[in-house]
Amino acid sequence: MQDHYVLQVRALNVKIKSEQGMLPLVQDIDFAIKPGEVLGLVGESGSGKTITCMSLLQLLDRKTTSVEGSIRLHGREINGLRAEDMRAIRGKEIGFIMQNPMNAFVPVHTIGDQFIETIRTHSALTKKQAMELAVDSMDAVNLPQPYELMRKYPFQMSGGMLQRVMIAISMCLRPSVVIADEPTTALDVTNQLQVLRQLDRLRSECGTSILLISHDLGVISELADEVAVIYKGRIVEKADVFQLFDHPQHEYTKKLLHARPKLV
Ligand SMILES: Nc1ncnc2c1ncn2[C@@H]1O[C@H](COP(=O)(O)OP(=O)(O)OP(=O)(O)O)[C@@H](O)[C@H]1O
Ligand SMILES: [Mg+2]
């Protein structure tokens, strides 16, 4: 019965080692995403959005953090999988766009090498085919002169460009779910819209589910079907996007809505 969810998270608790013992960072996180659905996760800086993503992807340091609870991908429990098994899932079944694009790339390799390496790790494509797929994917996010970009090193590109390369990488293998942590924050308004359109296309053309993370309700409202509001490490409200805007229940949600710059 649970299998019609692409991603289902139950009672997720993340703690970190400290001198005072294990400190909770996020608590009792519950949500589920169906195929082709976009769940927005919104909350202020420090509320636990990135910690939630990193725990789903199992990219937190296992020595200093603990991740309890259930994370099911197509019904299969992935919390606690071996690092090697998670590596096979990340990038292929779960695409991800990280908040800080600089950290997502290795400085000593070109963009092209990193792009092709990711594709070849997860597919049987030849180097030439992988190169073509990389170029097509960069075209799809409107990156100019993709062949030249492939030869560049991360430090030779702006944060916004790197963000779009990361989006191209995350989409090219058509994962069933994409986790996008503030995918538009580093971009100007025109590029923000383009990225949101790309994500929307991925959802409508490939049926990809998206966990869209932002502190910006405007971004969330462009794309999300459902919205979860996170406050101090807990989800305090979850509702259909229209209902959340029209009838916010939690005081914190009301504050977020009031803080939003008026667009119309
Ligand atoms: N390595 C760490 N050690 C201790 N506390 C941490 C660590 N990483 C994050 N935190 C704390 O966990 C909380 C949640 O951080 P997180 O990065 O998830 O916030 P966020 O919602 O993504 O914020 P932002 O919108 O600024 O990206 C914060 O209070 C942060 O200080
Ligand atoms: Mg964050």
Residue with tokens 């030849």: 126
- 229 Cβ below 6 A of ligand 1: no
Q: State in words which class domain 2-259 has.
A: alpha beta
Residue with tokens 């390369």: 165
Q: Which residues are within 8 A (CB) of 81 and not within 5 positions of it... i.e. 6 or more apart? A: 58, 89
What separation in Å is there between the alpha carbon of 44 and the centre of ligand 2?
9
* pLDDT at position 19: 94
Q: Which residues are within 8 A (CB) of 255 and not within 5 positions of it... i.e. 6 or more apart? A: none
The residue to mutate among 14, 17, 20, 50, having the most atoms of ligand 1 within 8 angstroms of its beta carbon, is: 50
33-66 burial string, b = 16+ CB within 10 Å, else e?
A: beebbbbbbbbeeebbbbbbbbbbbbebeeeebe
What is the separation of C-alpha 107 from the centre of its chain, rounded to a whole number of angstroms?
Answer: 22
Rg of the chain (C-alpha set): 18
203-241 burial string, b = 16+ CB within 10 Å, else e?
A: beeeebbbbbbbbbbebbbbbbbbbbbbbebebbbbbeb
Atom of ligand 1 nearest to the CA of 51: 18
- For the chain, 264 residues long, give each residue's pLDDT as a single digit of tens: 445 899 999 999 999 999 999 999 999 999 999 999 999 999 999 999 999 999 999 999 999 999 999 999 999 999 999 999 999 999 889 999 988 877 889 999 999 999 999 999 999 999 999 999 999 999 888 889 999 999 999 999 988 888 889 889 988 888 999 999 998 887 788 778 888 888 898 898 889 999 999 998 888 998 999 999 999 999 999 999 999 999 999 999 998 888 766 655
What separation in Å is there between the alpha carbon of 126 and the centre of ligand 2?
36
pTM of the predicted protein model: 0.91
Asked whether 69 and 255 are in contact (CB, 8 A), the reply is no
CA proximity to 98, closest of 7, 39, 185, 38: 185
* pLDDT at position 262: 60
Q: Which residues are within 8 A (CB) of 264 and not within 5 positions of it... i.e. 6 or more apart? A: none
CA dihedral 180, 181, 184, 187 (to 10 degrees): -120
- Strands 21-33, 7-18: pairing is antiparallel
- SS3 for 135? helix
CA proximity to 232, closest of 81, 101, 51: 51
* pLDDT at position 261: 63
Q: Domain locations in the chain?
A: 2-259
Atom of ligand 1 nearest to the CA of 47: 21
